[in-house]
Amino acid sequence: MDEIQAVNVRTLFTFAEFCERHGLQYWLAYGTLLGAVRHEGIIPWDDDIDVWMPREDYEVFAASFPDEECGTSYKFFYMGNDDRQYDYRGIVSDERTLHTYERRVTDLQYGLHIDVFPLDYQAEDERERRRDAKRSFSYVDFAHRVCLADKSRYLSSHSTLHGLCYRAARLFSHIVSPRNLLLREDERAKCMPKSNWVGIAGDNAIAGYRAEWFAETVELQFNGRKLHAPAGYDGILKTQYGDYMALPPESERHPYGKGFWKDEADCL
């Protein structure tokens, strides 16, 4: 592992230990789940770590993390406690570090972090699930463009016409608050009635997962530790990646962003 991966894996272990102490459920998610199944740890070229939590456990986690055993190095940021968050998920940040995507106004305002996604019930009808996903994604995409994107970098990388649309969208955001749209959508997601389908608000790539895939939990090896995964991980990964044991082309193997120690100038 490189140093950024090591920091994020340590954050994941701290998160998992907290959940175990407090009886909270979590599961490895997305590429992190894939890494556990295919590599028994973090994907060698990846530094992004994701986890899912049932909504009720997510709300408890948000209200109680960190505890004394976590120390002072970690903080949890989400829309409920941070006005700079424009996502349906929260982040567990290592506050000894700094992180940058080199394209956002919030670059270097948070540490290296893992993403924590609340898992909610979704509609039984596939067309309704896709419609909900498209709407919730459009809100977060709008918010990211007008609230998080570095204006000069965004304009320099798009056409003049696109730039005019972008400026109009920024003006529109003063009339219709992107944050209020996200908060309203998050509230809608958490109030969905129990069904046979679960998913993440804003994920328009997947039309939900079968709730039965999350009915039981198994433990998978992840960088020398056993961590929680949904027992139906095979169905989940096939839904997400198809032939998930096949490696991607080398051109698609790249990390996300850069990291720094706060007390050092050198990039990790």
Predicted pLDDT of residue 95: 95
Q: Beta-strand (E) ranges in 19-112?
A: 27-29, 50-54, 74-77, 90-94, 97-100
Residues 145-166 as b or e (16 or more Cβ within 10 Å = b): bbbbbbeeebbeeeeeeeeeeb
Residue 255 vs residue 114, higher pLDDT: 114
The two tokens of residue 145 are: 């463009």
Predicted pLDDT of residue 155: 80
Predicted pLDDT of residue 102: 76
3-state secondary structure of 20: helix
Predicted pLDDT of residue 165: 84
Is a pLDDT exceeding 60 seen at residue 265?
Answer: no
- For residue 90, the 8-state DSSP code is E
Is a pLDDT exceeding 60 seen at residue 45?
Answer: yes
- For residue 79, the 8-state DSSP code is T
**82-93 average pLDDT score:** 95
Is a pLDDT exceeding 90 seen at residue 28?
Answer: yes
Is a pLDDT exceeding 90 seen at residue 148?
Answer: no
Predicted pLDDT of residue 254: 84
CB 150 within 8 A of CB 129: no
Measured between alpha carbons, how far is 90 from 81 in angstroms, rounded to an integer?
10
**131-158 average pLDDT score:** 90
Q: What digits encode the pLDDT tens for the residues 117-140?
A: 999 999 999 999 999 999 999 999
* Phi and psi at residue 215, to the nearest 5°: -65, -30
One-letter amino acid for residue 216 of the chain? E
